[in-house]
Structure 1
Amino acid sequence: MIETDSAVRREVVVDVPPARAFELFTADMTSWWPADHHIGSAPIAEIIVEPRTGGRWFTRHEDGTETSTGVVVVWEPPGRFVVTWQIGADWKFHTDLVTTVEVRFEPVGDGRTRVRLEHRDLDAFGADAAAMKETFEDPGAWQATLRAYASVAS
């Protein structure tokens, strides 16, 4: 059997130290997450990553509804965190679908940080795996999300 690497990897360098980069990424996601990247029927009011292993990653919408994205599986500030991404190809939350997003924060000198994002386990999308990888590789997906983050972080 031939194994293939289905992960999508993106990175950006920001002009803040790792602790600040981590804090902005996790505790202030609402300030930079692209407004059109959500699954709820109402606009985003707040994006929350609960700061602990087992914490929820979810969006609270302007109409008071909440939509889940996943859960925190690793919480190691300021170096990295790992969350599940449980949004299916139908752009709805699925308890039985688990892909993984890992974000690492690496110092690169002069108070700057390289932020590396890896979205893996895309085979969990089954028949939709190739299409979802293509979606996540699109410049308007993770790349645009990290660009938005970098514009706020720098």
Structure 2
Amino acid sequence: MTTTELTVVRTSVEVAAPPEHAFTVFTAGMNRWWERSHHLLPGELKQVGVDPHVGGRLWEENDAGEVCVWGTVLTWDPPRTFAFAWLIGPDWNVPPPDATGSRVTVTFTPTETGTRVDLVHDQLDAHGSGWEGIRDAVAGEGGWPAGLRLYAATV
């Protein structure tokens, strides 16, 4: 289920795994579930990853060995919460080092059958002019809803 408010996109999925495993697959296993067509650098996406600590990078590497940083870890609290600054702006290009970001917060809540994974992408207006395009893209079928489906299938 995905809901969109003016500057917030919310989506969630349930997975049949304990929170510890769900958190690990979302973070350390991001390269296994990330949509391969979603990348900023030219060429093919070789890998995408998360540095597992507050201040760590969310990054991608292409097939030429180039690396770009597109996020910064804001909260690292396994297996409960992972949050990061989304630095990709309305132009969908490699963000500059001083990019202003929106925030993505992912929470992992135990359920009787596994874990409920809630993703909230908020503060989208922090990107300035054109931020609505980011909101519409991440809320759309090819955005976070598709990402969480790929993630759930990987879990």
Q: Aligned AA for 1:88? A: G
Structure 1 length normalisation: TM-score? 0.92
Structure 1 gaps of 5+ residues are: none
More helix by share: 1
Residue type of the partner of 2:14? V
Q: 1:148 aligns with which of 143, 150, 154?
A: 150
CA distance in 1 between partners of 2:22 and 2:72 (Å): 20
Partner SS, residue 116 of structure 1: strand
Query: Residue in 1 aligned with 2:58?
Result: 57
- Cα drift, residue 5 of structure 1: 4.6
Identity of aligned residues (%): 36
Kindly indicate whether residue 106 of structure 2 is the aligned counterpart of residue 103 of structure 1: yes
Per the alignment, residue 87 of structure 1 pairs with: 88
Q: C-alpha distance in 1, partners of 2:128/2:121?
A: 15
Return the match for 1:138 from 127, 140, 143. Answer: 140
Distance 1:130 1:46 in 2: 28
Distance 1:28 1:127 in 2: 33
Q: Which residue of 2 aligns with 1:119?
A: 121
Q: Which amino acid aligns with 1:37?
A: H
Partner deviation per Cα, 1:83-139 (whole Å, 9 max, x = no partner): 1100011112132321111100010113x1111111111111222122221122111
Local SS of the residue matching 2:92: coil
Instruction: Letter of the 2:65 partner, please give it.
Output: G
Structure 1 segments of 4 or more deviating over 6 A? none
TM-score, normalization by structure 2: 0.91
How many residue pairs match? The answer is: 149
Structure 2 contact 53–73 (Cα < 8 Å) conserved:
yes
Q: How far apart, CA to CA, are the structure 2 residues paired with 1:60 and 1:99?
A: 22
Give the whole-Å Cα distance in 1 for the aligned partners of 2:57 and 2:127.
21
For 1:88 and 1:139, the matched residues in 2 are separated by: 19
Which residue of 1 is the match for residue 21 of structure 2?
Answer: 20
Is the CA contact 2:89–2:131 (under 8 Å) kept in the aligned structure 1?
no
Structure 2 residues without counterparts, runs of 5 or longer: none
| Whole-Å separation in 2 of the counterparts to 1:137 and 1:75 | 24
Kept in 1: contact 2:50–2:57 (CA 8 A): yes
The two structures, once aligned, show a CA RMSD in angstroms of 1.2
Query: Which residue of the partner structure matches residue 46 of structure 1?
Result: 47
CA distance in structure 2 between the aligned counterparts of 1:45 and 1:96, rounded to whole angstroms: 24
**Residue by residue, what CA displacement relative to the aligned partner does 1:48-77 show, whole Å, maximum 9, x if unpaired?**
101111111101122100021111011000
